[in-house]
Amino acid sequence: MNFNLNQGIKGYKEMTVVFEATAARFGSGLVEVFATPAMVALMEGTCQFSIQELLPDGYITVGTSVNIRHLKATPMNKKVWCESELIRVDGRRLSFKVEAWDEAGKIGEGTHDRFIVHAKTFMEKLAS
């Protein structure tokens, strides 16, 4: 199946750092700053939603690889956002460049890969 996705598709998603997104809450650290796992989730979500509407009904993408660097801490109540760009399409394999920012500058960067699957079939295989 041809999914008609092209390089250059961009995504954007933002959020405010709340306690639930901190290292102290995730258990990935001891202080109330934006957690690396929360940043990864923001990056994955940005990529997912940037192309979801372009996929046929019933299809989604699942994350397969994350290679990021968390460059600096962001305190609670600050706005953070992610920008993504689809940089490679290889059949059902998609590669994205991701960058995360807060009001003071860049806080993270890297790449993220996703794979296109049919949601129902994917879940049926997991159940069997």
Does residue 49 sit within a domain?
yes
Q: Which two tokens stand for residue 125?
A: 């295989």
| 81: containing domain | 10-127
Q: Which of 125, 33, 117 is nearest to 80 (CA)?
A: 33
pLDDT of residue 108: 98
Is 119 buried (19+), middle (13-18) or exposed (0-12) by CB count in 10 A?
A: middle
Does residue 97 sit within a domain?
yes
Does residue 1 sit within a domain?
no
Q: What is the pTM of this model?
A: 0.96
> If you search the block for the tokens 């760009």, which residue do you land on?
85
- 79-90 and 93-102: which strand pairing? antiparallel
pLDDT in tens, 34-92: 999 999 999 999 999 999 999 999 999 999 999 999 999 999 999 999 999 999 999 99
Distance CA 5, CA 91 (A): 9
pLDDT at 1 over 80: no
pLDDT in tens, 79-107: 999 999 999 999 999 999 999 999 999 99
Q: Count of domains in the chain?
A: 1
Does residue 25 sit within a domain?
yes
Does residue 3 sit within a domain?
no
Does residue 2 sit within a domain?
no
